[in-house]
Homo-oligomer: A and B are copies of this chain.
C-alpha cells in the first residue's frame, strides 16, 4: 500500500498535531483530542458514507485524504471537495446530499455531533477557528467552480496538481506522491479518465512533470503554475 512511504500523504500523525498545524491553539486542540471519539481506517473507493445519510458526526482526517462526492442522474460521479490531514467534515442538521469516500487509505477520527457542538458553542476562539476553516473551504469551492467552468482540460488537471501539492505542503521542486488515480482526477475536474490520461501524457511531453508510477515530479514549477493559473492565496485565509 501507499501508507508506508516517507513523507507520504498517508503518514499518520496525532490529531492534536494535525489540528495545531492547521492553526488551532494547543489548548483548544487538546479539548478536541479529548472528546469521545473513535479512529476508523477507511479504505479507498469503498462506500464510507452514502449520499442522503444523516450527518450527526464530526470527522477529522488524521492521515490520507477524504472526498465528498455527488452523483449525477446519469450516474457520473463528481467529487465536490477534498479533506487533507488536519481538515475535517463538520456535522449538519439532517442528511447530506453528498457521500464520503476515501481517496487513499485514510485514518479518520469520528466523533458525535452532540459531543462536538457544545464544545464549540462554549468556546468563541474555537468558533472563530472553525469559521475560518469554513471560509477556506468556501474559497476552495469557488476556485474549483472557476476550474470546472472556465479552464481547459490541461489547466484543470494542472490546477488540481498544484493545489494538491500546496495542501500537502510539498516543497517546490520536490517530488510528490500523487494520491489520485486518473479516474479520480477525472471525477474532480469534470472529465473522463481517458482524457486525463492524454493530458498527463501531454504535460510530461512538454516537460512540466516527470512521472514514475504514481510519483510526480514538478520539473518546471513556474510554468506549471502559469499553465494552471494557480494563485495559492485562496488557500491561506
Binding site for B on A (CB under 8 A): 68, 70, 72-74, 76-78, 80-81, 92-94, 96-98, 121, 124, 127, 132, 134-135, 137-139, 141-146, 148-151, 189-190, 229, 231, 233-234, 237
Contacts and interface: CB of A to CB of B under 8 A. Distances in A.
B76 A150 contact: yes
A190 B74 CA distance: 20
B145 A144 contact: yes
B189 A78 contact: no
Contacts of A134: 134, 138
Contacts of A97: 139, 142-143, 231, 233-234
Contacts of A135: 92-93
Most buried by B among A92, A142, A149: A149
A155 to B, nearest CB: 8
Nearest to A188: B149
B72 A151 contact: yes
A98 B233 CA distance: 12
A145 B80 contact: yes
Contacts of A68: 142
Contacts of A73: 229
A23 B227 CA distance: 44
Contact of A93 (B74, B148, B237): B237
A118 to B, nearest CB: 11
A150 B150 CA distance: 14
Contacts of A80: 141-142, 145-146
Nearest to A227: B73
